[in-house]
Amino acid sequence: MAHLSPSVSTLTDVHPITEGMLQIKWISLSYDGYEKEKAAIIFYFTEDFESIRRVSDRTSDEVPIAIGCYDLNHDGRDEIIAFISDSYFHGASDSGGLFVLEYDGKTITDGRNIAGFQLDTSTLNDPRSEQIGIINNEEGWDDLYIDGLEWKTGMAN
């Protein structure tokens, strides 16, 4: 299991739901672009990427990171939703780690690892893939919809 920076915890608060009852906004993640966000992720997980380099000789630039941004907490700033494709970031997924990261435009200030799901990494950047959805909450944080489950994303203050 990954070391993960001290301020990252794992989300395990999931609820099975029926898709027909919800309005879901589907988002896609991209391996291209998002250079500022990728740099912030690499800085935030410095120790983790250093461990990857020591074990596999891969640099942080060689670890695929798929990113999407969405304002999950309605503060006017997008959070980063990132899928880091490396076995170091596993968790319960066999393909990498999915994170919700609070981002102020320069640095990541908090984060959550979402575990216990399966993503088809070959279609992550396809806007029609409908793998990651946003469920709008009137108050507080929006939730994610992944693998038929609702994932509570609210960060602790």
pLDDT above 80 for 153? no
Predicted confidence at residue 146, as pLDDT, reads 82
Q: Residues with Cβ < 8 Å from 103, sequence gap 6 or more?
A: 37, 40, 69, 77, 78, 79, 80, 109
In this prediction, residue 9 has a pLDDT band, given cuts at 50, 70 and 90, of very low
50-64, 88-102, 105-119: least confident range: 88-102
Q: Residues with Cβ < 8 Å from 136, sequence gap 6 or more?
A: 23, 25, 142
- Average pLDDT across the chain, whole number: 78
Average pLDDT rounded to a whole number, residues 101-119 = 86
Average pLDDT rounded to a whole number, residues 113-117 = 77
pLDDT one-digit tens code per residue, 26-76: 888 888 999 999 999 999 999 999 998 898 888 888 888 999 999 999 999
User: Which amino acid makes up residue 70?
Assistant: Y
pLDDT above 90 for 80? yes
User: Which amino acid makes up residue 63?
Assistant: V
Smallest Cα–Cα separation from 155: which of 96, 97, 107, 114?
114
The phi-psi region of residue 116 (left if phi > 0; otherwise alpha if psi is between -120 and 50; otherwise beta) is left
1-5, 12-16, 79-83, 129-133: least confident range: 1-5
* Beta strands across the sheet bearing 143-146: 14-16, 149-151, 143-146, 132-135, 24-27
Answer whether 80's CB lies under 8 Å from 40's CB.
yes
